[in-house]
Each structure stands twice: as structure tokens, then as C-alpha cells.
Amino acid sequence: MLRTSTLWPALLLTLSAHTAFAQSTPSQAPPKLEKLEEVTEDPITVTSKQGPETKITERRDNTGKVVEATVKSGPSTYTVRPNHPVGTALPGDAMGGANRGPQWTVMEFDIGKKKKKTAEEEGAADTTTPPPAAK
């Protein structure tokens, strides 16, 4: 009985390996290929759109390191500054902190600048008559 119990697993293993090998062998005949129809449509024209121009202005200190970079892309403007870690901490340390995000410019005020005249005000100023000359 002991001989029969060790013979069955060996027989099953051999039989399953043979069926797996028989299924994995490819057939000798090449696969049948289908002919595709040639479709002629209007030719495709690709035009490149001129995207919003990006202007990058970098400000450096006396050693040549970049202190800040101002990026103007279309109507939006933002400023990027490096993250200076505290003390001798390296970037990625617990004291080094995370990355510093960009600062978006929302509104700018022109305090201290002279107000520009509009076209209507300039036209109105030209229509006034000069004062009469003294006799």
C-alpha cells in the first residue's frame, strides 16, 4: 500500500506536466492574416498655435545664487523662491521643511505713480480756448 500511495502523486505530476507542455507548444501553421481596407480621407493639416509667451526674470544675489524667479505666463504671474532650511538642516530632514510653493500675484497697485490721462480727458483739454491776450 505504501508503494501505491507514492506512485499516484508521481503519475499525476507527470501527466499534468505533459498536458501543460502539449498546450503551450504553438501550432506549425502561420496565423491567417486579414487584408485591411485602404481608407483615403482628406489630408490632415497640423497648425501650431502660438501659446502665451512665457517671460522668466531671475534675481540673483552677489554670490550668483538665484534668490527668486518671477514667471509671467499669459495673464498670470507668480514668484518662486528657494526654501532656506533652518540652521544646518538639509533638505528632506525633519527640520528641513517641505518644498516652498509659488506665490501668485493677484493684484498690483501703482501707488506713487502719476495717473495717466485717458483719451477723453485729453480731447476735452484740447477743446478749451486759451485765455485772451492782454492789451
67-114 tens-digit pLDDT: 899 999 888 899 998 877 767 877 677 776 667 888 898 887 878 776
Average pLDDT estimate for 11-34? 72
Alpha-carbon span 120 to 128, nearest angstrom = 13
pTM of the model: 0.40
Burial, 10: exposed, middle or buried (Cβ in 10 Å; 0-12, 13-18, 19+)? exposed
Angle at 31 between CA 27 and CA 34, to 5 degrees: 170
C-alpha cell at 2: 505504501
- Averaged pLDDT score across all residues of the chain: 76
Residue type, 9: P
Sign of CA dihedral 105, 111, 112, 117: positive
